[in-house]
Structure 1
Amino acid sequence: MEPAADQSRMSDTVHVLNGPNLNLLGTREPGIYGAATLADVEALCRAEGAALGFEIHFRQTNSEGALVDFIQEARGARGIVLNAAAYTHTSVALRDAVAAVGVPTIEVHLSNVFAREAFRHHSFLSPVVRGVICGFGPQSYVLGLRALASLPPTP
């Protein structure tokens, strides 16, 4: 049996969580979001995760409550890469879930939200995440994974 200290170590699992309408990537406003599908983004994350030694749990939902559940299920993980999509700008529940789990979280966006409509300039998540990456298309996720890899594991 392993000593208690080893059992409490953080896993190398990273949860890549996606919010509403991201299931439509590739067909939804390609001028803003590009031609890559969510399956393409997942494959990119899995490849980068493998290179970084992370096990990737990749999920998408259109439901705010399900996204809260996904965040809570990430408790004990190495980190979360979170594209909450429109919920970024509206959801106190997601903000509270991120704050409650205590898992290093990187907020990512495919588009540069600051070059878009004014309502997208505010994030309820930004004050409780480690960092924000936006505007690099699917590479925003890769940069998010690399950011998590640069952080020391949380005890």
Structure 2
Amino acid sequence: MRCLAVAASLLLLAAPAVAVEPDETLADPALEARAREIARGLRCVQCQNQSIDESSAPLARDLRRLVRERLAAGDSDAEVVAEVRARYGDFVLLKPPFDGRTLLLWVGPFAVLVVAGGLLVRRLGRMRPDLDEEPDGAGQER
């Protein structure tokens, strides 16, 4: 049983490596290492939770091929990333730059939490009975 658990754990660790098909890899190990590093920083726009290096989606495969084609053509890492950004925008970056155009990506989740927290406090405040007022008819003498 313990051996089965270890085997399952190892398979889970190897899962991201399975996304890159053997026919996608470059013959030059240095270029392949650069391609893998770039692919780890690019988001699969179909999956959205994975890098294109981890994703097995057809679009991620196309993007991995594009990265490798551009590297094989002699582009620098920055030029390859710029090419993908030109097609898909900053959303394709797993770590988008912090600037005016991406401000909503960075601040948006916190703003949603603050607004939701404020609405929750407001609603809970309305549900709480007012302790200063006496119930109807209380305090009246007969």
Structure having the higher Rg: 2
Greater RCO (CA < 8 Å, at least 6 residues apart):
1
Which category describes the TM-score, using the shorter chain as reference length? Answer: under 0.3
Q: Compute the TM-score of the two structures, normalised by the length of structure 1.
A: 0.24
Q: Compute the TM-score of the two structures, normalised by the length of structure 2.
A: 0.26
Structure showing the higher strand proportion among its residues: 1
Structure showing the higher helix proportion among its residues: 2
